[in-house]
A and B are shown apart, each in its own frame.
Chain A
Amino acid sequence: MSYEEKRDEIAEEVKPIVAHTMPFHKKAPAKVVYITIVFTIIGVLLALFLPTHMFPFSMSPEMHDAVLTFVVFTIAAAPVAALVYAIAAYSLIAWRKKGANNNEEPPEDGAPSHGSGLITSLWIGTSVVLVLFLLVWGMAELSAETAQQSNAIQVNVTGQQWMWTFSYPGTGVTTHNLILPEGRQIDFNVTSMDVTHGFWPVEMGVQIDANPNVIDHIAATTNRLGSFDVRCSQICGLYHAYMQTKGTVVTNAQFATWLASQGASSSSIQSYALSGK
């Protein structure tokens, strides 16, 4: 093909298709709103009913907060997602180029609109409000969780490759399986002997890294009897996957008995179990 032919071909191809006065469906916005509402309802229903089937059994208010946050944020986000999906879906269904295999040539041009200040402002305004809501929610929950309670007891957590050990200060008891009394705020003082580990008592809904030469603090309140998993959430080398153990929440009386069975003196149990009260 000669250069001139090529040039003519380009000139031909870039010719715009004359702007088509595509009729604006007056009902389109209303239809999009309907679709949005339907999608939103689906999202809200999922948010309300799915979490109980997905999350493990909550053992602490902190875990309950995490689940609640999930539900609330999903409900808050549902209309936004629904609106985006509704606009995209409606446009595709209503305004796509019809005619099965006649897709070689482009359709007529769409409406030459460059945007709308009003809609943009509304959109940004709404997202600002939503973000503020998320932020206030998060800050409120965080401050509630970090509040020190009067009945707190201390548990020292040590991560090392690839083991967790837990000790109860003052009692001389160290264990591999975490035992906690019910209805107490537990202050975990977490540290590591080598690399970084992630202390994650799963059903307690909290986690904090175990860093060498540093003591990190995280608190969770036990509000249910039963057992839970302790996992390592930070990759820590060869046996990272095996770095897990069981935790058990028992009654205060059982807890004292257990400490005694591990060789703690009765006075130390007394002062430990009563600490903070």
Chain B
Amino acid sequence: MKKFVWAVVTVLVGAVLIAAIGLGFHDQQYSSPYGTEVAKSVGMITVNGKQYQHVVLNLVTEPSAQGTTSNGQIIHPGGNPSWPAYAVTNEYQIPANAVVTVKWSQYDSGGVVNNPYFAKPRGTIGGIERVNGKPVTGVAADNIAHTFTLRGEPGVDPRFFLSVPGPISKLGDNAENNKGGQLVQFSFISGKPGLYVWNCEFPCGLSVGGFGAVMSSYGYMSGHMHVV
């Protein structure tokens, strides 16, 4: 009998040990250590004869993850200086079934996107985006810095899809943080509540397809959109 008590103790100790290791692997990415950027409500808006709540979300992309944004916030704590990043946080929050207007300040350089499909705005209202106020139906495929591409987690609103390209900085290849920015503005109707994931479809990393390094490391060119 005593042996069985010890067998149970072994199982419990093992379970505790594994749980402790599990806590080590558990990461806080979904609760965002850098805070969550919540879209600000700006009233109501009518699209296609239907009334929606209207919110505004701000995005910033910087050529170097090290440093601060124009309003002094750290871009990416501990960020690799040679890697670009979506600034301040990669966790965003918007209300469900609302019109979301995104104001995206794009400061990075770029080049040719892998797939020209992502050179056009997809899923925005009217199929357009505004670059510095000018409405366009796409950006030249060789003039793209990043894209903001959003879709639901498995099972979350599978037909929702949004992808918007951002043109390269006015400084071209000499892009610098917070200088020569392009203001990209677009609106979309958010889907059902749930967690959505976004990433960049421009090959701004290294190695095969340009998707190594920064593109394959969570948190620089990828993150979550909490739709509540």
Contact = CB atoms under 8 A, between A and B. Distances in A.
Direct contact of A and B (CB under 8 A): yes
Interface stretch (B72-80, B180-188, B207-215): B207-215
Given A174-B117, A194-B114, A242-B197, A160 B222 contact: no
A238 B222 contact: yes
Contacts of A31: none
Interface in A126-159: 158
Interface string A8-22: 000000000000000
A212 B210 CA distance: 13
Contacts of B62: none
Interface size class of B (residues with CB under 8 A): 20 to 34
Contacts of A162: 199
A246 interface: yes
Interface string A160-204: 111101000000001011000000000000000111000000000
B173 interface: no
Nearest to A158: B115
A268 interface: no
B30 interface: no
Contact of A246 (B117, B159, B199, B209): B159
B122 interface: yes
Nearest to B120: A174
Interface stretch (B12-20, B41-49, B102-110, B148-156): B148-156
B201 interface: yes
B159 A177 contact: yes
Given A160-B209, A242-B153, A176 B161 contact: yes
A162 B114 CA distance: 12
Contacts of A246: 158-159
Contact of A160 (B114, B159, B217, B218): B114
Interface in A218-255: 237-239, 241-242, 244-246
Interface string A51-82: 00000000000000000000000000000000
B58 interface: no
B70 interface: no
Given A161-B215, A163-B201, A237-B216, A176 B122 contact: yes
Nearest to A238: B216
B122 A194 contact: no
Contact of A163 (B149, B154, B215, B218): B149
B208 A195 contact: yes
B59 to A, nearest CB: 19
Interface string B184-205: 0000000000000101010100
Q: Which are the 10 A-B pairs with shortest beta-carbon distances?
A: A194-B209, A161-B211, A193-B114, A246-B158, A165-B117, A174-B117, A176-B161, A238-B216, A194-B211, A237-B216
Given A161-B216, A239-B199, A244-B158, 13 more contacts: A158-B115, A160-B114, A163-B201, A177-B159, A194-B210, A195-B209, A237-B216, A238-B199, A238-B217, A238-B218, A238-B222, A244-B154, A245-B158
Interface of B: 114-115, 117-118, 122, 149, 151, 153-154, 158-159, 161, 163, 197, 199, 201, 203, 208-211, 215-218, 222
